[in-house]
Amino acid sequence: MQTLSNWGRWGDDDELGTLNHLSPEKTKAAAALVQDGVTVTCSRPIDYTAGEHSPRPPQYFMVASGEPYRPGDGGPDKQVAMDYFGLIFHGQSVTHLDSPAHFFWDGSMYNGHPSTLVTTREGALKESIDIAHKGIVSRGVLVDVPMLRDVEWIEPGDGVTIADIEAAEERCGFKVEPGDVLLMRTGQYKKILRDGPLPPTSSSGPLPEILPFLHERGVAVSGSDTGNDVQPTGYERFENPVHQVGIVALGLWILDNTNLEGLSAACRQRNRWEFLISILPLRIPNGTGSPCNPVAVF
């Protein structure tokens, strides 16, 4: 919490945290990576199934549908379909971006703002997801751990290490740089697609040992195809160490529960592991995060 702290680095009132590593120059350089214009989603489809992994699943129903109307039956001139959609996106199933308002430590948010600024009535009065309303458009890099280890996926309880990231840099020909979106594939979503959802107490993900690396390299957004914390953690005080230290100390923006299967295939096909990525959270005033559909462009 102290050695990795970015508190005060960009001023006492800063709310952007690691998004300060982004710049128009970074976005312009990332856009130059686009060669063939192929786009790849990094999002999972919304799953409405309740289970241990999603005790309060997303809700969806139609407010108005096309069922009352038939050709030649007359009816109103305005024939329209309308939807209702509601969800709790924090958790283990929905692809979403966490803002710095999502976690606290010792009653404080990132940069020393009191946790009481996130209220039951109003939500996040500081560091909400809406401060990223311009979108996050930068260079993405993929650390494909199953490919590096020559396995289908990393088993739950195991995690992405510093050695994995360094091996990816050497083998795949990139170097993690300030402002990057670092994506780490464990293959867990592939396992979920084959075997079904995992309980929240059993997961792979980035290990907390990578946090000093993220701090040193100036990573803007860190994400994986998991909830971004190995479960069980093995720590007594930290149930979600990557989130607790990453968000509160670094001001790290975290992308949870991505789908990196298509991205992995696209990277392998091109033998290229860097790309333009666009992460566009919804404009939710006072929200502590947002569901999103990150899109990589090659």
Which pLDDT score, from 0 to 100, does residue 148 have? 98
Which pLDDT score, from 0 to 100, does residue 237 have? 86
Q: Which fold has domain 17-46+91-297?
A: Glucose Oxidase; domain 1 (3.50.30)
Contact assessment for residue 8 and residue 113, using Cβ atoms and an 8 Å cutoff: no
Instruction: Report phi then psi at 66, rounded to 5.
Output: -90, 5
- Quick one: which of 44, 95, 30, 26 has its CA closest to 298? 30
Which pLDDT score, from 0 to 100, does residue 177 have? 98
Query: Exposed (0-12), middle (13-18) or buried (19+): which is 99, by Cβ within 10 Å?
Result: buried
Average pLDDT rounded to a whole number, residues 135-161 = 98
Question: In three state form, how does the secondary structure of 265-291 look?
Answer: HHHHHHCCCEEEEEECCCCCCCCCEEE
Question: What's the whole-model pTM score?
Answer: 0.96
pLDDT at residue 192 greater than cutoff 90: yes
What number of other Cβ atoms are within 10 A of residue 280's Cβ?
Answer: 17
Average pLDDT rounded to a whole number, residues 152-170 = 97
Mean pLDDT of the chain: 97
Contact assessment for residue 207 and residue 160, using Cβ atoms and an 8 Å cutoff: yes
pLDDT at residue 157 greater than cutoff 90: yes
Average pLDDT rounded to a whole number, residues 164-180 = 98
Residue 75: pLDDT band (50, 70, 90) is confident
Average pLDDT rounded to a whole number, residues 152-176 = 97
pLDDT at residue 43 greater than cutoff 90: yes
Residue written as tokens 């890099």? 141
Residue 195: pLDDT band (50, 70, 90) is very high
Average pLDDT rounded to a whole number, residues 130-145 = 98
Pairing of strands 253-256, 221-224: parallel
pLDDT at residue 260 greater than cutoff 90: yes
Average pLDDT rounded to a whole number, residues 286-293 = 98
- Quick one: which of 290, 291, 281, 263 has its CA closest to 141? 263
Which pLDDT score, from 0 to 100, does residue 182 have? 99
pLDDT at residue 152 greater than cutoff 90: yes
Annotated domain spans of the chain: 17-46+91-297
Contact assessment for residue 89 and residue 43, using Cβ atoms and an 8 Å cutoff: no
Alpha carbon distances (Å) from 210 to 157, 159, 190: 16, 10, 23
Q: How far is CA 189 from the centre of its chain?
A: 14
Average pLDDT rounded to a whole number, residues 166-189 = 98
Residue 151: pLDDT band (50, 70, 90) is very high
pLDDT at residue 248 greater than cutoff 90: yes
Report d(CA 273, CA 256) in Å as an integer.
Answer: 20
Which pLDDT score, from 0 to 100, does residue 241 have? 96
Contact assessment for residue 269 and residue 173, using Cβ atoms and an 8 Å cutoff: no
pLDDT at residue 74 greater than cutoff 90: no
Which pLDDT score, from 0 to 100, does residue 166 have? 98
Structure tokens at 118: 């996130």
Q: What percent of the chain has pLDDT over 90?
A: 96
Residues 6+ apart with CB under 8 A from 127: 15, 17, 99, 100, 101, 109, 110, 111, 113
Which pLDDT score, from 0 to 100, does residue 236 have? 86
Average pLDDT rounded to a whole number, residues 27-50 = 97
Report d(CA 162, CA 173) in Å as an integer.
Answer: 16
Average pLDDT rounded to a whole number, residues 11-24 = 98
Structure tokens at 26: 């970074």
